[in-house]
Amino acid sequence: MTDPMSDVLARVERFRRQVEEANEGDATELSNLLADLPESVDRARVASEMRGRLTAVAEALRQWLSTAQGGEGAAAESAVDLMADIASALRELGDPSEARRLLELVLEERREKLGENNRSTLTTRNNLAAALRDLGDFSSARRIFQETLDAMRRTLGEEDPETLTAKSNLATALVDAGDVTAGIDLLSDTLQARQKVLGAEHPDTLVTKSNLAAVLLRAGRPNDATPLLRETLQTRERILGETHPVTLTTVNNLALSLANSGHDVEASALMDSAISALLEAYGEDHPDTLAALNNRATMAARTGEHVLAEELLQRALVGYRRILGPDHPSFLTSMNNLGVEQRSLGNYAQARETFEETVRAMRRVYGPSHPSTLRAMSNLAAVLNSLGQDDLAEPILRDILATRSQNHDPNPSDRVAALLRLSAIITHRAGENGGAEVAAVRREAIPFMEEAVRLAKWKYGDDSEFTVEVVRLRNELTRSVADFENEERADSEELNDDAAGSNKES
């Protein structure tokens, strides 16, 4: 009996040879393979196995399109469609950089052949913006999403499904760029429009409702998010069944919302039931099962169960490495979370190794200025600080702050954390003995504390507990510098008095 996995990969390899050797092949074959895999085959695992072959197919198509016979006609249009399919598959595989390169080529071809405002051209622009968002280029993503939405409104109409998708994508980009309120407003408008155009139970409507709930959670409004998730869960249980992966993902999201509302017991019970159902239905080597393990680890960390959190993250990492590979975003996120738990347990040496590996991988996959890379660097600096290696932590923190100041920072809380830690390291380096030198070193930390206060007030408000604590630390630092300077000034005046006394005539 033929193994379904082997059969699928053989079909992909046959298609690759068709393209490379004969410049032909059915342009729908790849998308059909990805959309209609046998139930016995794990789609994510197939995609992971296909990664190198997809890139080879895309390169062959690119070269063929550049030839005289490849530039025109139905075959060329099919080749461009296939490149767009490959880009989508590579994004799902966690390779947004290659996806971006292909989408830029597809966009160029579609603009030339179909025109700027053609539906396919606009969809490609939307997908390119999504790849840029994956790469952490939130400013460019937001700009292209906005331009695409404006063009779709003019060309396709306000209520066209593609326009509503673009609207939802722009809302997500606004949130990524730190404008959470605008993102919530736009997602709310999109939800109302999709309910009107598609119906309350359409999959796209339910996705928008889930996305809105996720943004409300991010904005610290779990009481508004929970009802939306309960409604979504009830609908998906009825339509898809209680053990469908999408249903169980909704269970996890509802549990996270409940946890943020302080309902830890109910949240833990929901997550445990979802994990049990996923394990029974799909096994441990399924992306949704692994995501549920990762979420349960987050819940365990919230309730102080750091040993359990570490065990769950180790399980998730083993699975992610096996089915998605060590460069996939899900693997990298779990590895970063594992380092956090190791540090919480006081296993600083292990945490350092984990964060160093995470930083290397994220630099390679995302680049040095991606928010996830900077967050992992900040975690590495924190564990170095815990190990007493401030001489290694300080340049990392300065690098993080310099990079964040050059790029739009969508998460000021990360920058505040880096500012506070750097200020603490500088203050510690200055020592406690007093004198002008100590005051001069401590004074170096004041601008970092001032910026931390400004960002905390902007992010959390003047009266939040966190802001009040940051202000207290800033005041304590400035007061200590003033005290040291006054002490040094008094000592200097005393020395001058002594010198004047020794010069008096007897």
Mean pLDDT, residues 379-384 taken together:
95
pLDDT value for 43: 46
- 8 A C-beta contact, residue 225 and residue 256: no
- 8 A C-beta contact, residue 90 and residue 99: yes
In the chain, what's the furthest Cα-to-Cα distance?
Answer: 116
Q: Which two tokens stand for residue 34?
A: 């990805």
Model confidence at 37, in pLDDT bands (50, 70, 90)?
very low
| Per-residue pLDDT tens digits for 48-68 | 556 666 676 677 667 767 765
Query: Which has the higher per-residue pLDDT, 303 or 93?
Result: 303
Model confidence at 2, in pLDDT bands (50, 70, 90)?
very low
| Per-residue pLDDT tens digits for 424-438 | 898 888 775 555 677
Question: Which of 19-33, 139-153, 164-178 ranks highest by mean pLDDT?
Answer: 139-153
Query: Which has the higher per-residue pLDDT, 381 or 405?
Result: 381
Cα–Cα distance measured from residue 267 to residue 296, given in angstroms and rounded to the nearest whole number: 9
pLDDT value for 189: 93
CA atoms within 13 A on the CB side of 451: 19
Q: Using the 8-state DSSP alphabet, how is residue 433 labeled?
A: S
pLDDT value for 225: 93
Cα–Cα distance measured from residue 129 to residue 140, given in angstroms and rounded to the nearest whole number: 7
pTM exceeds cut of 0.85: no
Residue 143: name the closest of 115, 117, 121, 173 by CA: 173
pLDDT value for 441: 82
Cα–Cα distance measured from residue 434 to residue 156, given in angstroms and rounded to the nearest whole number: 70
- 8 A C-beta contact, residue 190 and residue 168: yes
Query: Which has the higher per-residue pLDDT, 323 or 155?
Result: 155
Query: Which has the higher per-residue pLDDT, 381 or 43?
Result: 381
pLDDT value for 31: 44
- 8 A C-beta contact, residue 358 and residue 366: no
| Per-residue pLDDT tens digits for 114-148 | 899 999 999 999 999 998 888 878 888 889 999 99
Mean pLDDT, residues 400-424 taken together:
77
pLDDT value for 492: 57
